[in-house]
Amino acid sequence: MADVTVTPVHLEQLATTQDQASTQAGTAASAASGLEVDVWVTHGVVSWYSNLAFTKAADARKSTGDAMSKASTELADKLRTAKRVYASADEQAGKNIDKQVLDS
């Protein structure tokens, strides 16, 4: 079985990456915002069916981007919680070992 190495610094790096992913997902979610209005203004009534499709696609893109952003934010929070718990457990284990060491 392979050894597992956990470092609080690495967990924080992963959390920061998830923060960045959350921001990017939020930005991507709104990238097509207003497209249906632009098409309506430039093409008029003839584009009604296209506008309906654009609206549905934009809504789907927004809800997907928002869900991805939320998931990344939640994962970042969980990684930071894991970092705190690991650091606390590591510190406590170190103290327990120190108590068991006999003074020479």
The answer to whether residue 2 sits within a structural domain is: no
User: Within 1-104, where are the H helices?
Assistant: 8-29, 35-43, 48-100
Residue 100: inside a domain: no
> pLDDT tens digit string along 8-33?
999 999 999 999 999 999 999 888 77
Q: Is residue 67 part of a domain?
A: yes
Nearest Cα to 65, choosing from 37, 38, 36, 31? 31
pTM: 0.75
Where in the sequence is the domain holding 71, given as residue range(s)?
8-89
Q: Is residue 96 a part of any domain in this protein?
A: no
Residue 104 lies in a domain: no
How many Cβ atoms sit within 10 Å of the Cβ of residue 26?
Answer: 17
Q: Which of 56-60, 75-79, 82-86, 99-103 ranks highest by mean pLDDT?
A: 75-79
User: For the chain, how many structural domains are there in total?
Assistant: 1
